[in-house]
Amino acid sequence: MKSRIPAILLGLALLASPISSRSCVLLECPSPPAGVIQCTHHTECKNKAEFSAASSSSCSCTNVLPTGCRAVNATTATDVKGVLRVCEANKGNWVLPSPQVANEGRHVVSVVVDRFFEKGMYKQDGIRLSRLYINARFRPAAGKSCIQVAGVEMFTYTNGLCLLRSRVTMPGVEHVSDDHYYYDDQTPLETSLSRDYFFGATAAEVWLDMSREKIVKLPGAGGNSTGVRFKSLLKSAIVEHKLPPLDPPAVPLATAYTTTARPSG
């Protein structure tokens, strides 16, 4: 088939980091989690359990949250000792597949995204996916700087690097249509980026990121339940890509030497 300045810089740092961000919430619980693995730091729970749960005096890895918990913040918690900082432990290795990047001639860079969002763990109940982006980080040529162009989002770092972001619509996830004239041919999603968007750069680092939201039910007394939302930013590995040259290669001049022999006689 993209104070105010520090906030902007922090946002760029999160977008450009190769590590997916974890999602955490504060819960006030009447009892600690059951059936847990004890830990000394929440990072020890990675790929061992669904959640890490840390309080001021304990740390544990668990797949089930205690009954009767409620979402709180620093001002609404009534029992500070009963507050747990619960984070997703990245069980299942939520890493996006890398895009396929190729040059099409000297004027277009093609980025192909697999339809991973239609498969496996991405289709689990309670999972909501949104805002899939292609990212390209590069250094513009000397004397050039990145400016806004139509169709993409462009950001500039304080060190002169540029970040291009192009939104990719996920059919069946963000585009759900009952229009009889809408046709999804089920092919991989391809985005064509003009070579001009890279402002003379010779190479770019390309990766994907996407927002993921997971709704977890908190069992309550009497069979009642509420939900808490875990939000995270998923990323792919970075692809190092050499951009097409701006000018055609020089054709060496061929010099032909002709020797004319003088007829004898």
Q: Which tokens sit at 151?
A: 């169709």
Q: What is the pLDDT of residues 67-115, one digit of tens each?
A: 888 888 766 666 666 788 888 886 556 789 999 999 999 999 999 999 9
- Cα 156 from chain centre: 18
Amino acid (1-letter code) at residue 33: P
Helix or strand (DSSP H, E) at 4: helix 4-16
Q: Tokens 């192909």 map to which residue?
A: 112
Mean pLDDT highest for which of 10-24, 61-75, 206-220?
A: 206-220
pLDDT band at 257 (very low <50, low <70, confident <90, very high): very low
Distances (CA, A) of 7 to 12, 20, 44, 101, 110: 9, 19, 30, 31, 32
- Tokens for 35? 């059936």
- For residue 139, CA distances in Å to 136, 144, 164 come to 10, 9, 11
Q: What are the residue boundaries of the structural domains of the chain, listed by start?
A: 1-20+94-245, 22-91
DSSP characters over 214-231: EEEEEE-GGG-EEEEEEE
pLDDT for position 204: 96
